Structure 1
Amino acid sequence: MNTLIENLPSMLWETPALRGPEHLERAADHLWRVVDERGSIRGHLRVVADPLGIRYRAERLHLASGTFRLVGEFWQADDAVAALRY
């Protein structure tokens, strides 16, 4: 994947609307925590630039290394959040 977050303008992106039971809590300009109906963090949703448009990256924080691990990249925020349910 050659998509770089640095390609995005430095701006506060609007929080994507979701259709599922989860909600998003802003963590950074391009990053949100995905929180389920019980208040548990399921993972993170990141906006990334793509030559064809905006993509949504589903990630999980790996506590031992302090890095995010990619779950998948999607065209729809709802699809990325669904990938974090399992």
Structure 2
Amino acid sequence: MFQKQKRVKLYGKKLKKLNHDIFERDNHRCIVCGKYVDDSHKFHHEPCGQEKSDIISGGVVLCDNCHYARHNTDKLKLIKTKCEEYLRDLYG
């Protein structure tokens, strides 16, 4: 039987450092379209929803347009898959 992973919820300086580290790792570029994104934006959790966790292997940089599309358009599955594959390539 698989044990459910415990969610990590960070606040304050720890969350700010995680955000900075994710933006540095992704070169401040949206992983979908390559557009520059400054780190005043918050990283995108993948997976999102109840399974999200504040860990480096669970966050990616998305521009506003791709983030909107990830949640609200017919590109949802395409962007979700791209995020998952990107993180899997980095972290296994």
Task: Output the TM-score relative to the length of structure 2.
Answer: 0.29
Higher helix share: 2
Task: Output the TM-score relative to the length of structure 1.
Answer: 0.31
Larger radius of gyration, structure 1 or 2? Answer: 2
Higher strand share: 1
